Amino acid sequence: MDFATADALNQAIRLLSLRHRARAAALLAPLGLHPGQEALLLELDRTGPRIQAQLSDALGCEPPSVTLMVKKLEASGHIRRTPAPTDRRATVVELTDAGRDLAGAVKALWCELADETVAGLDPATAAGLPAVLTAMTANVDSRNRAHGAGHGKGVKRNTLTQ
């Protein structure tokens, strides 16, 4: 890929990321949430109770970030923590009734944000975006590189530098 194309692609991704996060923050603020907390609530809503290490993996966050989110959401009454029955070092996190209600409100906001984000796009293009963006994320996921996985599908490696 030439520099002009690479620059245009990287700038577009960077700006989308920044603006999407800012818009999400604006939508979440009236609910008393900060970006990232909604992902934790939605993960618990999807999966049920989880230990914090599982949440960290699922959210792609460092454990200290999850711990801070959990503490704030527990203080606001949206989640509760209990010791894991099989491992006293682990903590199980689950939604409270208030947390389930908040997750429902977040789902509505998430639909609104998604509609805003894809406004004006052909429906078929919009429907294909999750798969494309997931593949792009996998291509740059440092966790894949740390575990010795190859580069993303379709990425050519320079054999002269290996």
Output the pLDDT for position 87: 85
pLDDT < 50 positions in the chain: 149-162
Instruction: Assess contact for 103 and 41: CB atoms under 8 A.
Output: yes
What is the reported pTM? Answer: 0.81
> 31: burial class by Cβ within 10 Å (0-12, 13-18, 19+)?
middle
Is there a domain that residue 139 lies in? no
What range defines the domain where residue 46 resides? Answer: 3-118
pLDDT tens per residue across span 29-67: 999 999 999 999 999 999 999 999 999 999 988 999 999
Output the pLDDT for position 108: 96
Output the pLDDT for position 159: 31
Is there a domain that residue 112 lies in? yes
Annotate 93-129 with b (16+ C-beta within 10 A) or e (fewer): bebeeebeebbeebeebbeebeeeeeeeeeeeeeeee
How many independent structural domains does the chain possess? 1
Output the pLDDT for position 89: 86
- The CATH number that applies at residue 62 is 1.10.10.10
Output the pLDDT for position 158: 33
Output the pLDDT for position 147: 53
Output the pLDDT for position 79: 97
**CA 30/CA 22 separation, integer angstroms:** 14
Is there a domain that residue 55 lies in? yes
Is there a domain that residue 150 lies in? no
Q: Which residue has the tokens 């052909």?
A: 122
